[in-house]
Chain A
């Protein structure tokens, strides 16, 4: 498993760098014939790559690269954006090979996707950057490939990564054509005013129809079809022309070396030995080891310990210059000190911060509890380690009578939540109970008393128990998203029904080619957090794709629903729900509870209630018979053992009034339903 995570690949860049340091004119082909043998190494787990990098960097410290050899006009900063599985990472592998950054072997698979979850899901969670050196028409170019997260959950990261670029490669599968994520990504690039180079990939596939995809691109993105480059990243077909297009169609960054330093932090990772390693793009000025820098967001001052470029491992340099992209280590202890979007400048030379900085805003919340309370500390340390590298996850301690001590975590979106959970399980072997995700509702308060208490008029409700009553509220607000669905038109009817059932409002509908439709819907976020995507996939036989972007808040009618057991409310099951959905949701919860509550000596009424009004009810009948039929001499030992075990188990049950509820029952109700 570990091997497949890293794969086997040879690192030629090592020797290459020595060559560059000594003779900057070495060509790509010549680099292969350098006197230093390429060091073939097996990469281990993701975490190891840094120690590997450290090993190199200490070896290379004497021969730092002179980055001044790359004038701004010879620099191109670009990203690759694509729908899942359209071949972004494979294209990146080929570009790395073509430029001699890594050796050409059969084993270069998703070199930049270091996490197991990235390789398994075919997604990029953590942006990686690689500086490529490419000789074109006699000139040595520095091409900075800024890999972006491939999902809209990470759209903020994507937008920050893109702001360090002047152009993008928009990769589209020649068979599948434009998908929802292609559209979302295109518009991010378009809004950032970047040059877009459409790349139609997988032309080697049997069902590839690049001409159709060209037409889609023309129709949806208004890009002339002759601008599309048709390639097969898998086979390497026509990839060289992609590099040429990068040089010819993407402008060099508009920056000024002479101005004071202005650097954008577009990613950060944490290394337990060296602290925060920030990925930076220099918009103005230069930065070198020993410089004193300030974070515009935190106003903290640091001394730069190391700067360098990533190829894709760290390669120290003397200095980074305006227009360049690289890494910077400056004694930051925590990723929150190098937040994505922050601006760094030189001490005593403040600059106007780069626009667009936002602190991460969680959109989806879920409770996380250890399956076994004795695992609490292990899970805590695993969460701490993971959040060291991902400052966008918010963590609040929480506790539930049923599930014990845990946390309420905020994520950027659903995929982000799933990825986080999967990484906990895979990388830290933690097993957790994740509760049904909820969204941050808001309430505009009318009660003067409450406004005084909260010290603001508009409050965000994270815990359903704090839901303010309608009488003290002007209006409730819920987060909405603008969803893009692309589907073969035969599924349009079913999809429209699904959207309607999810309270969605159609905003747009267009045919992107003869049989594919693009639908735009304004959707309440809470309607998609649980099973929308799965429903969409199943009713379209897997053909529809979906993506969404944040669209603010809208007024909504929310109610607080209590779940009662024999009239007693169960605190952990309080749910905030849209008025129109209360009955459906309440019924579902009651049914799930009914299935998991053991019979007791009396009847149990399970009710969903809004205020004093009961909207759903299920009944668990009383035990009528529960006694062992045959209990003679040979049965006593077994029976006593069983009774004592049951009595022991009964002590651990949570009592709601007189009703005993096993932990399992809560888990079944609260747990995110992944099997739906």
Chain B
């Protein structure tokens, strides 16, 4: 296999350097001279898995045989088409998600990155993350991905308890996971993330905290804690519904979450988002873009994107969804150069609602400067400063509004979805007061 070696190797080194820089500067700040609409993050969806996990309702397929060359060519084509359509000058992060993208060949990853680098500027220090499944990622393969340009790994470890891993329908064992983690750390030092799930059926607080502590002894600088969401249509949902498994106890899950957060904080991790923890500045810049409502382009079956199609003269940001089913998606890409199935222009209020709902997931929340980028007229004070309902949340200590901006407190972050049910209507109200309803024809 030929790899675009020199270039990729340089990217890995540059990324590490960039991370050190961020560490010094603090997260979330971009010193980029390029304006927000000229840059974007790129998400690439690899839709295939080896096996269906019992909890997962993502857009994924268990193929009988993937014609990888064809898929690769379509991913490349679609990335080229959409990058051109977006008119972005710079791609600051690439995320290969899935599905199980570590099942794809490193060559495919390299080809996509090559296409991005050709279509636009992909700085050497751009974050390039690959989601990896412990069983499909032996060290040699991880190295090959590194050579292809990947400089960050996100490992779907999920649990360190073999019984739980079986319940989740994972193909790996706890020891597989720890081995993969160790190998990944050698290859991508400081750039490895692991996922740990909480709130599983029958899971108890103490043993779970034990897992977390165990994980802390092995992990790198990034951990994601995900509470299990029972999704309709999954095997786990059915089992719980039929009574074969106990329903997860929300009280216990809440306790695991609170204690887990505390332990991670103690261990020097910064909770920079609801479910994400990093130390030594190892935040995921790609995901940060989502929460800051930056532009992102989604490539691959069912991928979502949000960007202004400036290349086609567009002025409004659009929410875009690619065709879900891989075969149909490929046909469309081959015919039209892309498989965009749905385009929904977002109006200013909708964009602000997303700024609010996404921004409050982060520890910095929504700074006044950040808000002003999206809404120069109405300040955060204007919107939230004189509302009884919001005041009640501030008094309860769930929310903070001050000179820095609007953000959740430690307790508030855990109940953000409840807070948003007060904040979103308040924003809508303020918006309506500001803009008289548009006259038809305007």
Contact = CB atoms under 8 A, between A and B. Distances in A.
A643 B396 contact: no
Contacts, number: 101
A629 B229 contact: yes
A22 interface: no
B157 interface: no
B357 A633 contact: no
B398 A601 contact: yes
7 contacts: A623-B418, A625-B257, A633-B303, A634-B304, A636-B357, A640-B357, A647-B424
Interface residues of B, number: 47
B420 A647 contact: yes
B47 interface: no
B296 A633 contact: yes
Interface string B344-358: 000000100110011
A-B pairs, top 5 by smallest CB distance, nearest first, are A624-B254, A625-B254, A627-B416, A634-B304, A629-B227
B302 interface: yes
Contacts of B354: 636, 640
Contacts of B306: 633, 636
Interface string B291-314: 100001010001111100000000
Contacts of B274: 627-629, 631
B418 A629 contact: no
Contact of B396 (A602, A639, A640): A602
Contacts of B358: 631, 636
Interface residue SS majority, chain A: loop
B111 interface: no
A630 B56 CA distance: 12
Interface residues of A, number: 27
User: Counting chain B CB atoms within 10 Å of each CB, which of A628, A633, A643 scores highest?
Assistant: A633
Given A602-B396, A631-B274, A646-B421, 18 more contacts: A601-B415, A601-B419, A623-B415, A624-B415, A627-B414, A629-B229, A629-B274, A630-B226, A633-B43, A634-B303, A634-B304, A636-B304, A636-B357, A640-B357, A643-B424, A644-B353, A647-B420, A650-B421
Given A625-B253, A627-B413, A640-B357, A633 B424 contact: no
Contact of B361 (A623, A631, A646): A631
A624 B251 contact: yes
Contact of A634 (B226, B298, B353, B392): B298
A628 B291 CA distance: 13
Nearest to B275: A629
Nearest to A622: B415
Contacts of A601: 393, 396, 398, 415, 418-419
B61 interface: no
Interface in B370-425: 392-393, 396, 398, 413-421, 424-425
A625 B227 contact: yes
Interface of A: 600-602, 621, 623-634, 636-637, 639-640, 643-644, 646-647, 650-651, 658
Contacts of B392: 658
A627 B415 contact: yes
A626 B411 CA distance: 11
A427 B302 CA distance: 50
Nearest to B284: A632
B287 interface: yes
A647 to B, nearest CB: 5
B290 A633 contact: yes
Contact of A637 (B227, B255, B304, B425): B304
Contacts of A647: 420-421, 424-425
A672 to B, nearest CB: 30
Given A627-B416, A632-B287, A637-B304, A644 B424 contact: yes
Interface string B324-351: 0000000000000000000000000010
User: Counting chain B CB atoms within 10 Å of each CB, which of A621, A629, A636, A646 scores highest?
Assistant: A629
A651 B425 contact: yes
Contacts of A631: 274, 290-291, 358, 361
Contact of B414 (A624, A630, A634, A644): A624
Contact of B417 (A602, A628, A651): A628
B229 A628 contact: yes
B250 interface: yes
Contacts of A650: 421, 425
A621 B249 CA distance: 14
A610 to B, nearest CB: 31
A651 B426 CA distance: 11
